[in-house]
Amino acid sequence: MQTDFLQQLRLAFPALKLLEAEPLRNYTSFAIGGPAPMAFPTTPSELTALYRFCLEKGHHPVILGAGTNVLAPDEGLRRLVVNTRGLRELAAQPGGEIAAQCGVPLAQLANFARARGLTGLEFAHGIPGTVGGGLYMNAGAYGGELKDVTVETQALLPDGSLWRAVGSEQGFAYRTSAFQCRNALILQATFRLAPGDPAAIAGRMQELAQRRRASQPLEYPSAGSTFKRPKVGYAAALIEAAGLKGCGIGGAVVSTKHAGFVVNLGGATARDVLATMELVRNTVLAKSGVELEPEVRILREEGENFLCNS
């Protein structure tokens, strides 16, 4: 990131929090990543203006939410990272709808719905991401996906224009969406839910939380499921059948608790994680003939703007 561009940002957005060398490891669930210039907008209008300003100056920023599905490089980034965690407004609307900004944690969204006796987001309570990142990849768990409850999303396209996507225009499918396909920056969304009993909703959330604690290595930094579900079988089962539990490189290993997770045992680098992922992919391909596709998104100097989850 050029110093003169940062100076231009400060002049154009004097109230914007802007840090020149913020460690990415502090903003990713893997706890990995070097320094990067980082901006912290707090409203959709500020985010929109910032994004359009960057495009006008020929810069394509990385958009980062909760950082729970990304791997940041050890050397950091020169690209501006726009952190959306400050956009956290929620509002109940008529007809069982909830409007949420992109930086709202999915757990907060689920709790907001529960408190108002609205069911349909229980599955999202334990997903450690934001609304923006979750919609970008159509996050889901335990039989539920955000596509089931999202009726409208407002996003910015790579040319800076505003896109209001309604219903099927959102293009949701397994771990993808039209926003991902069009490299859009999600600003906010509206969810439509059904009436439910708050006690029953809370009970379902507690049940799913217990299942997560029992089956997932939540005690170690990770980016959740490392690989997408293949067309045949399940990634975790294929990895375990290949004898890869506990295998890894450096501080990164395949979890002994859940083979679908590559975890940071302490001091792992991005290179360790990438090498471990490559070991897994090559071994599974050799033993089963199935080629695994990473679900973790890699932050790079070039490429897409939004890297979920945000």
- For residue 90, the surrounding DSSP H or E stretch is strand 90-93
Could you list the mean pLDDT of each consecutive 10-residue stretch along the chain, which spans 310 residues? 86 97 97 98 97 94 95 96 97 97 98 98 96 96 96 96 97 95 96 98 97 96 96 96 98 98 97 98 98 94 53
pLDDT at 291 (0 to 100): 97
Q: Sheet holding 90-93: strands in order across?
A: 90-93, 97-101, 185-192, 150-156, 162-166
pLDDT of residue 310: 45
74 contacts 117 by C-beta, under 8 angstroms: no
The neighbour count for residue 2, using CB atoms within 10 Å, is 11
* CA 218, chain centre distance (Å): 17
Query: Distances in Å between the alpha carbon of 83 and those of 86, 89, 288, 289?
Result: 8, 15, 40, 39
Instruction: Provide the whole-model pTM.
Output: 0.92
Q: Which of 175, 177, 222, 281 is catalytic?
A: 175
Intra-chain end-to-end CA distance of the chain, in Å: 22
Contact assessment for residue 160 and residue 51, using Cβ atoms and an 8 Å cutoff: yes
Q: Compute and round to an integer the Cα radius of gyration of the chain.
A: 19
86 and 40 Cβ atoms separated by less than 8 Å: yes
CATH dotted code for 3-83: 3.30.43.10
175 is annotated as an active-site residue: yes
Q: Residue with structure tokens 């399940």?
A: 234
Query: Measured between alpha carbons, how far is residue 211 from residues 26, 69, 122, 145 in Å?
Result: 27, 20, 13, 17
Q: Annotated catalytic residue: which of 177, 281, 295, 310?
A: 295
CB 70 within 8 A of CB 308: yes
**How far apart, in whole angstroms, are the C-alpha atoms of residue 189 and residue 168?**
14
Q: Where are the domains of the chain?
A: 3-83, 90-213, 216-298
Please give the CATH architecture assigned to the domain spanning 216-298. Alpha-Beta Complex (3.90)
Catalytic residue of the set 177, 225, 255, 310:
225
pLDDT in the model for residue 302: 75
Whole-angstrom distance, CA of residue 85 vs CA of residue 64: 8
CATH classification number, 90-213, choose in 3.40.50.150, 3.30.465.10, 3.40.1260.10, 3.20.20.70 = 3.30.465.10
Is residue 295 annotated as part of the catalytic site, yes or no?
yes
